Amino acid sequence: MNSFQLVLRGSSHSQNINSVTSFVGEDSSGSFGIEADHARMMTSLVFGLARFKTETGPWQYLALPGAILYFVDNKLILNTRRYFMSVNYEDITRALLDTLAKEEEELATMKHNLRNIEAHILKRMLEMSKS
């Protein structure tokens, strides 16, 4: 059976997985699959789950907060900030939801801080214009 290499690159770790026979991911146009000897391609994966299968193993799931996918010369390279990998769909879904909740909380905090900074700058500008 034809296979390809999957290279996962996150900010804290990376790994190479050989003998991958199929990959399923999603970009802005929808879900798609890649098998060995696929034409060269590059796309941006959306936040969510992807999956891949090796010659001998079960489907493995990847939780990704988005990624850049590049397939060339039978090598699939995924560059992402971080990723979680598991053969258990429930575990990986939970990790993805936890990550999403944490990122939403951090985004809300950042927006709140930006509003405070904007208000402070506006106040200072008004004070300066009065003098």
82, 65 contact by CB (below 8 A): yes
> What is the separation of C-alpha 16 from the centre of its chain, rounded to a whole number of angstroms?
17
Is the pLDDT at 65 greater than 90? The verdict is no
Per-residue confidence (pLDDT) for residue 10, from 0 to 100: 93
Give the pLDDT band of residue 101 (cuts 50, 70, 90).
Answer: confident
Architecture of domain 4-130: Sandwich (2.60)
| Confidence at 131, pLDDT banded by 50, 70, 90 | confident
> Minimum mean pLDDT among 13-17, 55-59, 95-99: which range?
95-99
CA distance 28 to 67: 12
Mean pLDDT, the chain, rounded, equals: 93
Mean pLDDT of 114-126: 94
Lowest model confidence (mean pLDDT) among 22-31, 75-84, 93-102: 93-102
CA distance 110 to 86: 31
Task: Give the bridge partners for 37, in sequence order.
Answer: none
- Structural contact between residues 86 and 34, judged by C-beta atoms closer than 8 angstroms: no
Which DSSP state fits 81? S
Q: Which of 65, 81, 70, 57 is nearest to 9 (CA)?
A: 81
- Separation between Cα atoms, residue 66 and residue 13, nearest integer Å: 16
